[in-house]
Amino acid sequence: MATSLKIDEKSGLIEGVRFVSSPNCDDRPPGCGIEVVVIHAISLPPAQFGGPDIERLFCNTLDCRSHPYYREIEGLKVSSHLLIRRDGEIVQFVPLPARAWHAGESCCEGRTRVNDFSIGVELEGSDRSPFEDAQYRALQRVTKAIMQAYPAVTPARIFGHADIAPGRKTDPGPLFDWARFLRAL
């Protein structure tokens, strides 16, 4: 059985998780705490898994000449707090107390500027591929650690990107098993 994850209160980093610092973050507004988790799905190139390009995108080092799709996202400055790869590896890009740039134009619980009060978790995946068992296990571990460190986050306050940006986003997509994930919490 996997051990529990712990969040270092001082650094906001998850202990034992690889950290790759993204420049695409800033401070949350004063008095704005962590209240929700937003689950995303990403793959670069689209529907291809396992390469280094998600990390490169989040670190502004993506070679936009290396794939035709990348011309469409050239200059994009985005990040997420966490990425869960297909094999369950967890990579952290932004300390949890900082604001990652993951939600874009969105609305959650009647509030805009969702990045201000959320943690973004990317799953390596797409709308056309089921997620891996290892990803569900890692997501469960991460989410439990977040809920322990930030009590405002409850299972009822976990959303998909599609929930907060309907019509603009579809992730984590129809193949994400919400019942399985929430039952595991």
pLDDT of 57 reads 98
The percentage of residues in the chain with a pLDDT greater than 90, rounded to a whole number, is 98
- In tens, the pLDDT along 50-105 reads 999 999 999 999 999 999 999 999 999 999 999 999 999 999 999 999 999 999 99
Domain CATH number, residue 137:
3.40.80.10
pLDDT of 3 reads 81
- Across residues 15-24, what is the average pLDDT? 98
Residue at token pair 């997509």: 173
pLDDT at 1 over 90: no
* Cis geometry, peptide bond prior to residue 45 (ω within 30 degrees of 0): yes
Q: Which of 74, 55, 52, 54 is nearest to 64 (CA)?
A: 74
pLDDT at 132 over 70: yes
Note whether residue 98 is domain-resident. yes
Note whether residue 11 is domain-resident. no
169 lies in which domain range?
20-184
On whether the CB atoms of residues 175 and 127 are closer than 8 A, the answer is yes
Mean model confidence pLDDT for the chain: 97
pLDDT of 2 reads 72
Note whether residue 10 is domain-resident. no
Apex 13 CA angle, 111 and 101, nearest 5: 35
Query: Which member of 35, 122, 124, 132 is catalytic?
Result: 122
| Antiparallel, parallel or unpaired: β 90-92 and 82-84 | antiparallel
Tell me how many domains the chain contains.
Answer: 1
Note whether residue 59 is domain-resident. yes
- In tens, the pLDDT along 22-57 reads 999 999 999 999 999 999 999 999 999 999 999 999
Residue at token pair 């399985």: 180
Note whether residue 56 is domain-resident. yes
Residue at token pair 């670069």: 44
User: For this structure, is 122 an active site residue?
Assistant: yes
* Cis geometry, peptide bond prior to residue 172 (ω within 30 degrees of 0): yes
